[in-house]
């Protein structure tokens, strides 16, 4: 079985699996075979947002782990940083999300970092970008090489879960092409303005959208398995 870590959107990008491993090993010693890796990831996502000053939400539990993986699904279903606004709306709509929920979930880019290869074209070739911002990024993201050099998705407050991401978009300081597409004269501009001026509205909408995302066709009951090791099927 080929895992999904080497999919284009994930390779050299998704990290922190060792944290999940540590949580899993502690849980297995206390109550073996009860808590799935899927539930651990869902709770860890919530708790990390809370730890960085963001909202909390009730995580429904009882997910089970897959006995397989799909490299193809990861490559085709994860929205690319090159997507246009219409592409983003379609990608999320395919999973049952509204454009408003897509904008709210994009606000998760108030934390985290992106690889140079995902925003190089934007900082060298695009015009709807703050020139000082673009120049500041080029130092750590050369036109060739340095593909894995990281920059914060939210340069204003990279380790705080707040609404600065949306304020950055208003100033044409979205790091990814797909980020700035949310505020570029299109149908989602008004939603960005709302979240920029009202932190509470953003955090409420984000929390609700996270609950919805956590309910996307989970394996429950006797489907799937409870993995003993999150890195492989039993």
Q: Which residues are annotated as a binding site?
A: 4, 79, 109-110, 154, 162
- CA distance linking residue 234 with residue 232, whole number of Å: 6
Taking residue 155's Cβ as centre, other Cβ atoms within 10 Å add up to: 15
Q: Counting Cβ atoms within 10 Å, is residue 131 exposed (0-12), middle (13-18) or buried (19+)?
A: exposed
Q: Which two tokens stand for residue 43?
A: 């709770």
Residues contributing to the annotated binding site for heme b: 109
Residues contributing to the annotated binding site for substrate: 79
If you write DSSP's letter for every residue of 143-211 in order, what string do you get?
A: SSS-TT-EEESSSSSTTS-SSHHHHHHHTT--SSHHHHGGGSSSTTHHHHHHHHH-HHHHHHHHHHHHH
Cα distances (Å, whole numbers) of residue 190 to 83, 132, 184, 197, 208: 20, 25, 11, 11, 19
Residues contributing to the annotated binding site for Ca(2+): 4, 110, 154, 162
């Amino acid at each position: 079985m080929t895992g999904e870590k080497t999919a284009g959107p994930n390779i050299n990008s998704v990290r922190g699996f060792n944290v999940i491993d540590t949580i899993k090993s502690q849980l297995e010693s206390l109550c073996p075979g009860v808590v799935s890796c899927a539930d651990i990831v869902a709770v860890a996502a919530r708790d990390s947002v809370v730890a960085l000053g963001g909202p909390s939400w009730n995580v429904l539990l009882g997910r089970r782990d897959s006995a397989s993986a799909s490299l193809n699904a990861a490559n085709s279903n994860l929205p690319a940083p090159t997507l246009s606004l219409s592409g983003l709306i379609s990608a999320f709509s395919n999973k049952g999300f509204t454009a408003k929920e897509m904008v709210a979930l994009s606000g998760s880019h108030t934390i985290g970092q992106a690889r140079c290869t995902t925003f190089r074209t934007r900082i060298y070739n695009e015009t709807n970008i703050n020139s000082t911002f673009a120049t500041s990024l080029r130092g750590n993201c050369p036109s060739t090489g340095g593909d894995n050099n990281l920059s914060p998705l939210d340069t204003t407050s990279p380790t705080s879960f707040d609404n600065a991401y949306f304020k950055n978009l208003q100033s044409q300081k979205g790091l990814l092409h797909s980020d700035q597409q949310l505020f570029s004269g299109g149908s989602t501009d008004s939603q960005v303005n709302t979240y920029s001026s009202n932190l509470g509205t953003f955090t409420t909408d984000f929390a609700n959208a996270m609950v919805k995302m956590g309910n996307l066709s989970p394996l429950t009951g006797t489907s799937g398995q409870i993995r003993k090791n999150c890195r492989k099927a039993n």
